[in-house]
Structure formats: structure tokens, C-alpha cells
């Protein structure tokens, strides 16, 4: 929707559901374990500044970084650069 743009929001709720419960029918039992690194979690965000130019549609997806008070400034800067560059590259070329 808005490649390279960043929005500030607060986390309202974490929805503890993953696609790991979706199984294809087979004769094999599912493996037991924790959450894989590739799992996605669904969160509910509340935008801090309601900008009418940047309306987010219901069900919109994007990349999120959640910062805490203990994060070092250099890591926040690196993560912001990573998010912006990955967002822009996905806008230029999205193989899916």
C-alpha cells in the first residue's frame, strides 16, 4: 500500500493463532515442538496518528518491528533501514 513508509502504532492485542494448526491429511503424525522461526503472529495495532492520507485497509499486511525501552539505538536504526529497504524491494519485485 505505502512502500517504504513507516507508521507509529501501539500494540493493542496479540492473537495467539498460527498456521501450524492447519494440517494436510496424511498418515504421518505432526511433529511436536515449539513455534518455528517462520511462523507469523497476528497482532492488532492502533495507529498513534490518524492521517487521512494513509488509511490502512482491513486485513492489510506489512512488516512490523516492536521496540522496547531496552533496545539500543543502533539496533533500532538498523531495523528501520532493513524494513524500509525490504519494503521498497518488495514493491519493485514481488515474485509472489
Between CA 89 and CA 87 the distance in angstroms is 6
Global model pTM greater than 0.85? no
Q: What is the tens place of the pLDDT at every residue in 18-68?
A: 666 566 677 776 666 655 555 667 788 888 887 777 777 777 777 778 887
Q: In the chain, what are the domain boundaries?
A: 9-92
Between CA 92 and CA 82 the distance in angstroms is 15
How confident is the model at residue 95, as a pLDDT?
65
Q: Is 38 or 90 the better-scoring residue by pLDDT?
A: 90
Amino acid at each position: 500500500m505505502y512502500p517504504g513508509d513507516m507508521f507509529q502504532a501501539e500494540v493493542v492485542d496479540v492473537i495467539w493463532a498460527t498456521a501450524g494448526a492447519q494440517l494436510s491429511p496424511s498418515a504421518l503424525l505432526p511433529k511436536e515442538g515449539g513455534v518455528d522461526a517462520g511462523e507469523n503472529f497476528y497482532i492488532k495495532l492502533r495507529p498513534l496518528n490518524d492521517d487521512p492520507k494513509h488509511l490502512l485497509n482491513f486485513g492489510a499486511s506489512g512488516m512490523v518491528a516492536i521496540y522496547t525501552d531496552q533496545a539500543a539505538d543502533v539496533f533500532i536504526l538498523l531495523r528501520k533501514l532493513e524494513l524500509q529497504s525490504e519494503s521498497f524491494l518488495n514493491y519493485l519485485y514481488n515474485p509472489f
